[in-house]
């Protein structure tokens, strides 16, 4: 029998060299750099007393390694779910975000849409609700995923590209009374004109 509510702590991976260079990673498997590992270690200390029941991660190295560091003191296995991957950018991966978001750039049909990204991540979350959760769930994913989840939950999808996340940013979301709600966030910057209070 599943619990009446589900709490998810969703964390963005630590820093990579491509983050520093403002390059699009997407599904390209870039590892953490030393700063990213230190960021994950610092967050692990802050999460020590949260009694996580399970941990789920994207399969990409930067997320999985972050998850490994975060659960050091929790003695959990990491369950991989491909639905937690970053948005797929096709041949834009490795190129600069500034070029991708240039008004005259063409993205092509093979770049995953943000709506499709949201659908697959919430599909994953809805599966987690159906399980017998004996405590909070730790999920490690990516910046683009978190940006879209936050924009969806706050009903500011039209401003989602103006939502920014730091490396190892974290949100807490809950499933209560049949709907997902944003409970807390850290490392998330919302656009000034989002009208969110």
Annotated catalytic residue within 13, 65, 114, 142: 13
Question: What pLDDT score was predicted for residue 132?
Answer: 73
Catalytic site residue 192? no
Q: What distances in angstroms separate CA 135 from CA 1, 3, 48, 64, 179, one per listed residue?
A: 14, 9, 14, 21, 18
Question: What pLDDT score was predicted for residue 174?
Answer: 96
Place of tokens 């009208």: 195
Rounded to an integer, what distance in angstroms lies between the CA atom of residue 136 and that of residue 89?
31
Residues contacting residue 22 through CB under 8 Å, at least 6 positions apart:
96, 97, 98
In the chain, domain spans = 6-192
Catalytic site residue 13? yes
Q: What is the pLDDT of residues 33-48, one digit of tens each?
A: 999 999 999 999 999 9
Closest CA to 27 of 85, 107, 69, 94: 85
Annotated catalytic residue within 3, 27, 65, 86: 86
Which tokens hold the place of 84? 């937690």
Question: What pLDDT score was predicted for residue 195?
Answer: 52
Domain 6-192 architecture: 3-Layer(aba) Sandwich (3.40)
Residues of the chain under the 70 pLDDT cut: 1-4, 193-197
């Amino acid at each position: 029998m599943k619990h009446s509510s589900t709490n998810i702590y969703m964390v963005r991976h630590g820093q990579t060299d491509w983050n520093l260079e403002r390059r699009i990673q997407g599904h390209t498997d870039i590892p953490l750099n030393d700063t990213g590992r230190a960021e994950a270690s610092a967050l692990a200390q802050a999460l020590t007393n949260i009694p996580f029941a399970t941990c789920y991660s994207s399969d990409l190295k930067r997320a999985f390694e972050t998850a490994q560091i975060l659960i050091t003191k929790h003695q959990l296995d990491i369950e991989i779910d491909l639905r937690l991957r970053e948005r797929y950018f096709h041949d834009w991966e490795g190129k600069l975000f500034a070029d991708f978001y240039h008004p005259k750039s063409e993205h092509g049909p093979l770049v995953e849409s943000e709506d499709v990204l949201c659908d697959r991540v919430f599909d994953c979350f809805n599966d987690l609700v159906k399980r017998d959760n004996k405590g909070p769930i730790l999920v490690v994913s990516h910046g683009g995923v978190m940006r879209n989840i936050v924009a969806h939950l706050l009903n500011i999808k039209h401003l989602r590209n103006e939502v920014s996340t730091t490396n190892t940013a974290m949100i807490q979301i809950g499933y209560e009374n049949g709907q997902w709600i944003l409970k807390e966030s850290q490392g998330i910057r919302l656009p000034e004109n989002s009208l969110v209070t």
